[in-house]
A and B are shown apart, each in its own frame.
Chain A
Amino acid sequence: MYNDLDPLLHSQLRLAIVSMLIHSEKVEFTHIKEETKAAAGNISIQIKNLQEAGYIKVEKTFKNNYPKTFVSITDKGVKAFESYVNDLKKYINPKK
């Protein structure tokens, strides 16, 4: 029924991740875990899928000897998100 929607974004967890990144320069992995309440393994898989599609970038750093993973959205990801939201609007308000 919703074939036109980007299948990569039309997933609960991946959409939550991208929605979180749209307003931010970068977000730490643990914050995504706290906000989505999903398992770390599941988030890692979804982040990998989004990264392979070129929608997000992953940056690994160290702070006080602790590894930190930051995720940020790319221009391609922003465009995909915008077109996904526009497609959603068409489903909700088909007349517009």
Chain B
Amino acid sequence: MENINLTPEESFNIINKAIANFKLNYRETAKVFLLWGWVLAIASFSNFIILKILYSREALGLMGLLSLCNWALFLLIGFIIMFFMERKSNKDKKVFSYLESYFKNLWTVTAASFIIATFICIKLEINPPPIMLLIAGIATTTSGLLIKYRPVIVGGMAFFIFSLAATFVSNEYISLIVFAAIICGYLIPGYSLKSAKA
């Protein structure tokens, strides 16, 4: 690239090319959506099976504890995979974008909100999923608005609808609502992002 006299149009082309190349990095986000999409989808479905079995055996006293252990196990698996994914991606990283930084801060605050909300729900004896789905909806919709990507915005809004729906169903079926919410809110937007041409 030589330093030659530029016309304004050529200058705009250089700027547009830099912006177009930057947009390709949006697809990196898909990996995180797909990781948590699959981890949480399996967690919610296994939670449904656990609750169904406990209901059929009338072991209602164990439901809370086993459900909590199931979620904790899958969250731990998710965080371990996420840790190694981040380490691998940072190893040869050449561009540290503002967008990635916003995402990291947004989802760190969201993770903290999930933990605090869990304690609040246990203390107040409220079923956590409606609150959790609401928090997930806020973070996902905000993420979609940040990258201006409609499927992620719609996925985030789906969380709001499922959050309301979760208040109308009985205990074990809430897990199925969460399962559906994860598919609509994380997996579908995740695969859409993965195949996006930016």
Contacts and interface: CB of A to CB of B under 8 A. Distances in A.
Interface of A: 2, 5, 10-16, 19-20, 22-28, 30-31, 35-38, 42, 46, 70, 84-85, 88, 91-92
Contact of A12 (B4, B9, B22, B96): B4
Contacts, number: 78
A94 to B, nearest CB: 11
Nearest to A36: B1
Contacts of A91: 8
B1 A19 contact: no
Best-surrounded residue of A11, A28, A91 (most CB of chain B within 10 A): A11
Interface stretch (B11-19, B42-50, B131-139): B11-19
22 contacts: A2-B8, A10-B6, A14-B3, A15-B6, A15-B14, A19-B14, A19-B15, A20-B21, A23-B18, A23-B19, A23-B22, A24-B96, A24-B97, A24-B98, A25-B97, A27-B96, A35-B21, A38-B1, A46-B3, A85-B15, A88-B12, A92-B8
B18 A92 contact: no
A11 B1 CA distance: 10
The secondary structure that dominates the B interface is helix
B58 interface: no
Given A11-B3, A24-B22, A92-B8, 18 more contacts: A10-B6, A10-B11, A12-B1, A12-B3, A12-B4, A12-B10, A12-B14, A15-B6, A16-B17, A20-B21, A23-B99, A25-B101, A27-B94, A28-B93, A28-B94, A84-B11, A92-B9, A92-B12
A53 B10 CA distance: 23
Contacts of A11: 3, 6
A12 B3 CA distance: 5
A19 to B, nearest CB: 3
B65 interface: no
Given A11-B6, A88-B11, A92-B9, A19 B96 contact: no
Best-surrounded residue of B8, B9, B22, B99 (most CB of chain A within 10 A): B8
B59 interface: no
Contact of B96 (A14, A26, A37): A26
A57 B11 CA distance: 23
Contacts of B11: 5, 10, 15, 84, 88
A88 B6 CA distance: 11
Contacts of B94: 27-28, 30-31
B137 to A, nearest CB: 27
Nearest to A45: B3
Nearest to B12: A88
B2 interface: yes
A10 B5 CA distance: 8
